[in-house]
């Protein structure tokens, strides 16, 4: 409308009619272009139908009841449809439907990044993409800029377009897999079915709608995966192998306290974060030390609250400076040790599952389990914890929740839980024991689920003694356990004593 305003300013009473004609012609031309551009976007927004059957981590030998759900996606270059990972996670059947087309086409997942909650799907049938215009990936909008959200929310079959304002951009915990990545927030409600739909500015994708991570406590807010994370996943997908986001293997805390800054040798004008943990086998091992202060990553200076400046208007957690890198790239770290400043390079590597004692949520995986003496043993992970429902932070056992804040070590990489007792003569006296963390087996510390399972399989002692950290013991006679195995499996309709592949090399 800038040209229209110029035309209006030139209008005088003597030439009013000719100027008015020019103004109407300009507005008419602009008005015709906009609906055409919107139609191109609408045609590129796809409705996705999935049938999902997730494993039941309470009874890990079977699946939960299959459920049907829907989401949204957008066509991008390379005959790919960009959507959310949670839309197609654990999916056994995927279909895609074009705008104003009743037919559903069979689709398949070509790449998935659960941590970024992004996935690429495609349709192999010839001609599906021939009349669709791929959308380009744009740049992160400015704060308070208006954006449009396209998708197919539940409750109807037609495409929905919602407008909102970009209200915040910062590091967030993604609801799908619990990763801590950059996210955008808009003041528009995002409903089920909108997930995976594009956030559009100037006919370009500037975000992908994702699950709200507010636990239902925020109203009229929506969240989206920003362009930097989208581009990272698209580059990662080029070879078909998911590398994910790097983890340098150290953990930090903020240095807001002036006393703490002085204690670790910082000047008043220096800011940074304190290294409190360096993991064995990580890129940081042998280079960084506990009590070092990280001052800068690449060109991003770290504030004492752990933030870096993305622009004049945007701050976020320093972790984003690491997330911008791909595996095998060098990352420059400037740090202070006892007041001495130095800069080193760390090689970006994939994060190790063993950094935390409780592994993050996994998808499209077969749960591990072992049944011995009628007792169901499983590894502790977020899949199990989340099985307690949407309010798992309150309903899951406290002992299991507390373990999430503990670091792993070479001596203890994973916790093993006696989840439930399948009542039988062999386990008489323990029928009401459940959710019990096993610390030792026959006096030996439990390192992880694989070592624990091998110890049971290879046991030659008369009895197996399981012990928790408080010294309580659960004793099972080995000979009786083996003799009752077939009967227990038959009685409880369990296909095998352990998960497939548990003892494979």
> Where in the sequence numbering do the catalytic residues fall?
86, 117, 195
Q: Give DSSP secondary structure letters for 309-351.
A: ESSSS-EEETHHHHHTS-TT-EEEEEEEETTEEEEEEEE--BP
- Name the nearest CA neighbour of 498 among 345, 354, 362, 377: 377
Structural element, H or E, at residue 379: strand 375-379
Cα–Cα distances (Å) from 502 to 78, 101, 171, 381, in that order, read: 38, 46, 37, 16
- What length does the chain have? 505
Provide CB contacts within 8 A for 482, sequence distance 6+.
none
With left for phi above 0 and alpha for psi between -120 and 50, is residue 238 left, alpha or beta? alpha
Which of the 8 DSSP states describes residue 191?
-
**151 DSSP β-pair partners:** 160
Decide: residue 268, CB within 10 A, 0-12 exposed, 13-18 middle, 19+ buried.
exposed
Which of the 8 DSSP states describes residue 447?
-
Say if residues 336 and 273 touch (Cβ distance below 8 Å): no
């Amino acid at each position: 409308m800038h040209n229209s305003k110029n035309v209006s300013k030139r209008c005088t009473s003597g030439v009013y009619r000719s100027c008015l004609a020019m103004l109407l012609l300009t507005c008419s031309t602009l008005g015709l272009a906009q609906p055409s551009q919107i139609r191109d976007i609408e045609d590129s927004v796809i409705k996705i139908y999935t049938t999902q059957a997730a494993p039941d981590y309470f009874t890990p030998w079977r699946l939960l009841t299959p459920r049907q759900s829907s989401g949204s996606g957008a066509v991008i270059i390379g005959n790919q449809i960009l959507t959310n990972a949670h839309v197609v996670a654990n999916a056994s059947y995927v279909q895609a439907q074009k705008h104003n087309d009743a037919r559903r086409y069979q689709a398949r997942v070509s790449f998935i990044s659960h941590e970024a909650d992004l996935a690429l799907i495609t349709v192999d049938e010839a001609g599906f993409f021939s009349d669709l215009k791929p959308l380009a990936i744009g740049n992160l909008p400015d704060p308070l800029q208006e954006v449009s959200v396209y998708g197919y929310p539940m409750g109807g079959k037609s495409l929905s377009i919602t407008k909102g304002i970009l209200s915040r951009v910062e590091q967030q915990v993604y609801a799908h897999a619990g990763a801590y990545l950059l996210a955008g927030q808009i003041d528009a409600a995002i409903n089920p079915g909108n997930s995976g739909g594009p956030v559009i500015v100037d006919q370009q994708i500037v975000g992908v709608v994702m699950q709200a991570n507010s636990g239902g406590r925020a109203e009229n807010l929506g969240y989206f995966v920003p362009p930097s994370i989208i581009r990272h996943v698209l580059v990662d997908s080029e070879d078909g192998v998911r590398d994910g986001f790097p983890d340098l293997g150290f953990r930090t805390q903020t240095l807001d306290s002036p006393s703490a800054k002085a204690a670790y040798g910082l000047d008043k004008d220096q800011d940074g974060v304190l290294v409190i943990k360096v993991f064995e086998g990580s890129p940081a091992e042998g280079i960084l030390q506990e009590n070092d202060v990280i001052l800068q990553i690449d060109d991003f200076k770290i504030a004492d609250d752990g933030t870096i400046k993305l622009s004049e208007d945007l701050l976020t957690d320093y972790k984003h400076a690491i997330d911008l890198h791909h595996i095998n790239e060098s990352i420059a770290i400037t740090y202070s040790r006892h007041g001495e400043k130095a800069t080193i390079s760390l090689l970006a590597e994939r994060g190790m599952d063993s950094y935390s004692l409780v592994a993050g949520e996994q998808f499209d995986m077969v749960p591990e389990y072992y049944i011995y003496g009628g007792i169901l043993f499983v590894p502790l992970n977020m899949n199990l914890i989340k099985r307690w429902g949407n309010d798992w932070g309150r309903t899951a056992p406290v002992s299991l929740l507390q373990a999430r804040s503990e670091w792993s070590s070479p001596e203890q990489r994973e916790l093993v839980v006696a989840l439930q007792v399948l009542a039988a003569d062999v386990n008489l006296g323990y029928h009401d024991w459940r959710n019990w963390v096993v610390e030792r087996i026959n006096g030996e510390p439990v390192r992880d689920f694989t070592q624990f399972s091998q110890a049971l399989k290879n046991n030659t002692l008369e009895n197996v003694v399981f012990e928790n950290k408080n010294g309580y013991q659960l004793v099972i006679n080995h000979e009786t356990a083996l003799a009752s195995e077939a009967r227990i499996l038959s009685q409880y309709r369990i296909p095998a004593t352990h998960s497939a592949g548990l003892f494979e090399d």
